[in-house]
Amino acid sequence: MANQNALTEASVRAQMQAALNEFTIKSMEALAKAIKSMAKAVADLVT
């Protein structure tokens, strides 16, 4: 049974890591989009 628990724990851990990775990627994409938008706004002000 300990082996099954270890497998379950590893599976849960892998799912959590995947969710965290996805969240990080989405956050970075949103941040990049915001920076791009701000850069455009600054460029529009300058020109």
More confident residue, 2 or 46: 46
Domain ranges of the chain: 1-47
pTM, two decimals, is: 0.69
Up-side HSE of residue 47: CA atoms within 13 Å toward CB?
Answer: 6
What pLDDT digit, counting tens, does each position of 21-44 carry? 999 999 999 999 999 999 999 999
The yes-or-no verdict on residue 9 having pLDDT over 70 is yes
Q: How many residues does the chain have?
A: 47
d(CA 18, CA 26): 12
Tell me if residue 1 falls in helix, strand or coil.
coil
pLDDT, residue 1, reads 65
